[in-house]
Homo-oligomer: A and B are copies of this chain.
Amino acid sequence: MGRRNDHSREELRQMIVYAAEKIVTGDGYSGLSMRKVASAIGYTVGTLYLVFKNQDALLFELNARTLDKLEGELEASLEGKDDSLDRLKAIAHAYIRFAHSNRERWLTAFEHRPPEDVPTPDWMTERIHRSFELAIRELKPALPNADDEQLQIAASALWSGVHGICVLGMTNKLDSSGIADSEMLAGFLVETMLKGLRK
């Protein structure tokens, strides 16, 4: 029972994204389908496809929203912290807490693998790079003698490391995988890397 002309294209777009977000939050990435989204908002699947060319396009939008929310929480975690080590630990911990509090949305952002013929939009790639840029920005004062390339390498290695701890903890691949242990490990990684980088 599709509804016609009740909503503008932009309203529809938002309804679709919100409904998809709710489905992913409840049922995970594998639980999402265009059919379920259509049924949730009372439109036909055909109408959905007029707004999003395919499920990958919808997932890009959904994941961009997740990464925007993540970025906001990473920045917020820095408040009141001055020392580089404290700041880097704060964003690492905020990253892990975000992943645990938004489990399915976070996993969806990393498990979405579009088919090879569906290119990742530039605005999506840009958002992925932003969290690395945050790490570069925070590493810079700690490594005043590093040039841009060295900073980029250090930040990529460090931030990928935090991501690895987070994802293995979330999927129970670490010995003990509570959020406290992941935060401890990430703090240890940040501290040890910083020591090594400064040497």
Q: How large is the interface on A (under 10, 10 to 19, 20 to 34, 35 or more residues)?
A: 35 or more
Residues A174 and B156 in contact, CB atoms below 8 Å apart: yes
Chain B residues closer than 8 Å to A173, beta-carbon distance:
110, 128
Nearest chain B CB to A67's CB is how many angstroms away?
Answer: 11
Per-residue B-contact encoding for A103-116, CB less than 8 Å = 1, 0 else: 00001001101000
Report the Cα distance A173→B125, complex, angstroms: 8
Report the Cα distance A167→B154, complex, angstroms: 17
Residues A185 and B165 in contact, CB atoms below 8 Å apart: no
Nearest chain B CB to A188's CB is how many angstroms away?
Answer: 5
Chain B residues closer than 8 Å to A192, beta-carbon distance:
154, 157, 193, 196-197
Per-residue B-contact encoding for A159-199, CB less than 8 Å = 1, 0 else: 01111111110011111000000001110110111111101
Q: Are A156 and B129 CB-contacts (below 8 A) given A165-B161, A168-B163?
A: no
Interface of A: prevailing SS: helix
Q: Residue among A120, A156, A160, A189 with the most chain B CB within 10 A?
A: A160
Which of B30, B132, B161, B197 is close to A161, meaning CB atoms less than 8 Å apart?
Answer: B161
Nearest chain B CB to A147's CB is how many angstroms away?
Answer: 15
Kindly report which residue of chain B lies nearest to residue A112, judged by CB atoms. B171
Which of B107, B160, B195 is close to A196, meaning CB atoms less than 8 Å apart?
Answer: B195
Q: Is A84 an interface residue (CB 8 A)?
A: no
Q: Is A153 an interface residue (CB 8 A)?
A: yes
Chain B residues closer than 8 Å to A199, beta-carbon distance:
195-196, 199
Residues B172 and A120 in contact, CB atoms below 8 Å apart: yes
